[in-house]
Amino acid sequence: MGLVDKGRMPAPLTKLFNMSRSYSLWVYQWGLACCAIEMGAAFGSPRYDVMRLGVIPLPASPRQADFVCVSGTVTDKMAPAVKRLWEQMPEPKYAISMGSCANCGGPYWDSYSVTKGVDQIIPIDVYVPGCPPRPEALLEGVVLLQQRIKNEDMQAKWKGDEFTTLQATREAERGQLSAGEPTGQTTHDISTDPQPIPERDRPEPIVVGGGPIE
């Protein structure tokens, strides 16, 4: 994967790799409280059959996982363990926050021992609101995450940099060319871009249903 690290991936090959990754995701389940029941129904029940989406549950360890689903109340005592397991996951990695407790603390948000959302510990790509959300809502979050993976900039993601979309990267490259820079670069390359991509071009975390994070 040296081409990815150097930012020399041709755009068609980038699309192919992104699509392949989006349909071969090992999910690591962090069920911390009640919402874990609904998560188990989505990932373990034949009624929903999550493997038809290209998502495989129950990896051997975090080191084999592509994304994690955190469901339930994250306490201050549990927070260091959650962060340590997240750091063991290899890049590129993603996270889904499922349920009100994982999103913002839920009904226990004012407790002295509860973390006010798992996003204070790890970066979250998709929020699934509800108390608890239905398994269908979690599956929708998985599909939305797959759509994001298909359009992301592989170089930035694999290096662990802040997430940028492939579309935003191309717009930045076109802006450079219009400013009179050399046109010899024909492959997807942002390693020489001296200007960071504006914040407005960086996608916000996805919220299933489009409502508030709660």
CATH assignment at residue 99: 3.40.50.12280
CA nearest to 96, candidates 63, 51, 138, 60: 138
| Number of structural domains in the chain | 1
Asked whether residue 21 is assigned to any structural domain, the reply reads no
pLDDT score, position 184? 44
- 69 marked as part of a ligand binding site: no
Other C-beta atoms lying within 10 Å of the C-beta of residue 178: 8
* SS3 of residue 107 by DSSP: helix
Asked whether residue 169 is assigned to any structural domain, the reply reads no
Asked whether residue 154 is assigned to any structural domain, the reply reads yes
Asked whether residue 99 is assigned to any structural domain, the reply reads yes
Q: How far apart are the C-alpha atoms of 114 and 104, rounded to whole Å?
A: 10
What is the distance between the terminal CA atoms of the chain, rounded to a whole angstrom?
39
Only one residue has tokens 């913002």, namely 104
Asked whether residue 23 is assigned to any structural domain, the reply reads no
Only one residue has tokens 């060319």, namely 177
Q: What pTM did the predictor assign?
A: 0.76
Q: How far apart are the C-alpha atoms of 184 and 202, rounded to whole Å?
A: 27
* pLDDT digits (tens), the chain, 214 positions: 566 656 666 777 878 888 888 999 999 999 999 999 999 999 988 899 999 999 999 888 899 999 999 999 999 999 999 999 999 999 889 999 999 999 999 999 889 999 999 999 999 999 999 998 999 999 999 999 999 998 887 766 666 555 445 555 555 656 655 555 444 443 434 344 434 434 444 457 888 877 666 5
Boundaries of domain holding 83: 28-113+124-159+202-213
Q: How far apart are the C-alpha atoms of 172 and 191, rounded to whole Å?
A: 12
Asked whether residue 15 is assigned to any structural domain, the reply reads no
CA nearest to 207, candidates 149, 130, 107: 130
Strand pairing class (206-207; 126-128): parallel
> Counting beta carbons within 10 angstroms of the beta carbon of residue 158, is it exposed (0 to 12), middle (13 to 18) or buried (19 or more)?
middle
Only one residue has tokens 């990695």, namely 93
Only one residue has tokens 């960071």, namely 196
pLDDT score, position 192? 40
pLDDT score, position 204? 75
Other C-beta atoms lying within 10 Å of the C-beta of residue 37: 13
Q: How far apart are the C-alpha atoms of 41 and 154, rounded to whole Å?
A: 32
pLDDT score, position 103? 93
Asked whether residue 183 is assigned to any structural domain, the reply reads no
Asked whether residue 4 is assigned to any structural domain, the reply reads no
CA nearest to 164, candidates 188, 196, 194: 196
Strand pairing class (126-128; 94-98): parallel
Query: What tokens does 15 get?
Result: 């699309």
Evaluate whether 50 touches 139 at the Cβ level (below 8 Å).
yes
- 101 marked as part of a ligand binding site: yes
pLDDT score, position 38? 93
Tell me the residue type at 59.
P
